[in-house]
Amino acid sequence: MSGFTVLIVDDSRSVRTILKNALSAMLRGVQIVEAGDGETAVKLYKQHLADLVFMDITMPGLNGIGALSAIKAFDPGAHVVMLTAESSLDTVVKAKELKADGFIAKPFEAGRIAQLVSDRMAVQPRPIHVLLADDARSIRSIVRRSLVSLPHVFRIREAEDGAQVAELAEARPADLVFLDIHMPNQTGMDALIRIRKRSPETHIVMLTSDASAAAVSGAKALGANDYILKPFTSDQLAAIVDRFVASRG
């Protein structure tokens, strides 16, 4: 559902186009996101949680080393391959210290990039992409801790209001969404409508302290698959995930 996403980062539009065309021609089901500088790369990574990043080292503004550092700080599990014509030993050492996952020297063959993506797709376990939206950080922390304790691979993005979670869902659809009903800027109900319109297959779970029949039926009428009452337990969250996994097949 959420597919495999590749983030291509290079200040050269022609390099990005070559890579994008090669991946589109040789591989199916790959979403490609582009950035021309390090700042944009970090922002897009946080929005999409790309499965694989190709990162140019030499760029104006925030260079590839700085962007690699920021991405790894946000997500230590990020898989980032550096693209470089830079032969400086210091640069390579610094990238390795920041846990770059590989290096490809320019000029390169586009087919090699496509093969690298194909190999990565073959070995990477199929994760469950989760969007977790609640204006209370404590609730988000409880849900995150409960999820990572389960025997599944999760990729989790967080939002603190309805507008933000809807934007994240539009950037990259999620498999499973936990959505608080009462949030600032845009309510969970409004976000539910936007997410359901964009992603009919996403499994949406409402988080609420309102157990009234009207609230529950209203959410289900708008496309919610399930709901869970606050305060909830880790076992209740695990049961939700089990039902989702069973429906996923």
The enclosing H or E element of 104 equals: strand 102-105
What pLDDT does residue 32 have? 94
Nearest Cα to Cα of residue 55 among 33, 74, 26: 33
pLDDT (0 to 100) of residue 2: 63
Side chain identity, residue 163:
A
Identify whether the C-beta of residue 206 lies closer than 8 Å to the C-beta of residue 188.
yes
Contact in structure between 41 and 71 (CB atoms under 8 Å):
yes
Neighbours of 13 (CB within 10 A): 10
3-state secondary structure 135-152: CCHHHHHHHHHHHHCCCC
Provide, rounded to the nearest whole percent, the portion of the chain with pLDDT above 70.
Answer: 96
In which element (H, E) is residue 72 found?
helix 64-74
Amino acid 213: pLDDT: 67
Residue 216: per-residue pLDDT: 77
Beta pairing class for 128-133 and 154-159: parallel
d(CA 210, CA 12) in angstroms, rounded, equals 52
Q: Please report which confidence band the pLDDT of residue 86 belongs to, taking 50, 70 and 90 as the band edges.
A: low
The better pLDDT of the pair 178, 122 is held by: 178
The whole-number pLDDT of residue 241 equals: 95
Q: What is the pLDDT of residue 208?
A: 86
> For residue range 118-175, what is the model confidence (pLDDT) as tens digits?
888 888 778 899 999 999 999 999 999 999 999 998 999 999 999 999 999 999 999 9
Each residue's pLDDT tens digit, 209-242: 876 767 778 888 999 999 999 889 999 999 999 9
Each residue's pLDDT tens digit, 47-83: 999 999 999 998 999 999 999 999 999 999 899 999 8
Burial of 149 (0-12, 13-18, 19+ CB in 10 A): exposed
